[in-house]
Amino acid sequence: VRASDLAGLGAERAAGGAGRPGELLAAGASLKDVMARVEREILEHALAEAGSPGAAAERLGIGRSTLYAKLKQYGLIDKEHD
């Protein structure tokens, strides 16, 4: 993942999204919770930009099976992919 891949996340947060990681930690969120929120946002962004799960996995540098496991973990996949 390149910095340019994450550029849009700042605008989403400014519009009422998850918030900056440091702000979440200061508000009492655990590191695990913050990392999960960031990972979910990255997955959502990669899917939107890439247009398909296969292309998103390639862009993220992970295997498709890993991507599908993460999508399932975060509730971002429908039941047909189980």
Name the residue among 61, 62, 63 with its Cα closest to residue 2. Answer: 61
| CA distances, 25 to each of 10, 43, 62, 70, 82 (Å) | 17, 21, 27, 23, 33
Q: What is the DSSP secondary structure assignment for residue 62, as one 8-state letter?
A: S
Q: Is the pLDDT of residue 82 over 70?
A: no
pLDDT, tens digit, 9 for 90 and up, residues 29-80: 888 988 999 999 999 999 999 999 999 999 999 999 999 999 999 999 875 5
User: What pLDDT is attached to residue 15?
Assistant: 42
**Residue whose pair of structure tokens reads 């993460």 in the numeric block:** 70
- In this prediction the pTM is 0.68
Helix ranges (H only) for the chain are: 7-14, 21-26, 31-50, 53-60, 64-73
